[in-house]
Amino acid sequence: MSILIHFENIILLTYLTISMGGKQPIIRPSDYQINPVTSQLLTQNSQPVAPELTEILPKIKQQTKVPILLPSQLLITGTDNQIYVDGKGTNNSYEITLAFEKDCTANACSIGYMSGEKGGKPLDDEFSRELSLVQDIKGYFRPLTCGASCAPPIIGWEYQGVFYRISLKGVGQSPEIEGETLKKMANSAIEAGAR
C-alpha cells in the first residue's frame, strides 16, 4: 500500500503505523495534501490537554458519557499559586473546578470551572454578546461582572448537542482581552475534540 505524505508529517506517519498494525507505510515525497478527515483525526489525537487537567480527566471520563472538551492550555495570568483541580460527572454532564485552595467552597479561592451539559442551553442573561468560534460555531461571552461579588468572565458554545462553558478568573485586564483569551481556549478545546 502506497501512501503519499509530506516528510514533515511525522505525527501522521506514527498514526498510520499504529493504525496499520505496526507495518510501515511506503513514503514518497510529493505535494499531496492531507484530506480534512485525516487532518481532523490527527488534530484530535495530537493536541495535549492542559497539564493542570491531566490528573482529573480519567476520573471524569469514567463518570460521564458526555464528550469532554478541554483546552490545550490554561491561559491564566498573574499567579504563581498552585492550582487545585476537582471535578465530577454524571451521564449527561460534567464539571471541572479550579481553585487556589484545596476543597475550596468560597468565591475568594475559586478560579472558575469548565463544564459540558448534554441538551444544555444558555441561561437567561448569562451572556452579553456573541462571537465566532472555529468550525463556524456560535459562541457566547460575558466579561467579568461585579455587583455584590464578582462573576468571572465566561464563554459558552453548543457543539453536537452539548452546551460547554469555560469560566475563569485571571484571563485578562479588559473585556476584550478576556474574550480573546477564553476564545483561544474554547477553540483549542473544539479543535482537539473529545478527550
Q: Which residue has the higher pLDDT, 94 or 31?
A: 94
Q: What is the pTM of this model?
A: 0.75
Q: Identify the bridge partners of residue 80 per DSSP, sorted by sequence position.
A: none
Q: Which residue has the higher pLDDT, 182 or 41?
A: 182
188: left (phi over 0), alpha (psi -120 to 50) or beta: alpha
pLDDT per residue over 120-156, tens digit each?
999 999 999 999 999 999 999 999 998 888 899 999 9
Domain ranges of the chain: 10-46, 51-192
Using the Cα atoms of residue 37, residue 39, residue 42 and residue 46 in order, give the sign of their dihedral. Answer: negative
Residue among 10, 5, 11, 3 at smallest CA distance from 41: 11
pLDDT-based confidence at residue 64 (cuts at 50, 70, 90): very high
Using only C-alpha atoms, what is the Rg of the chain? Answer: 19
Is pLDDT at 41 greater than 90 in this prediction? no
Is pLDDT at 9 greater than 80 in this prediction? no
pLDDT-based confidence at residue 82 (cuts at 50, 70, 90): confident
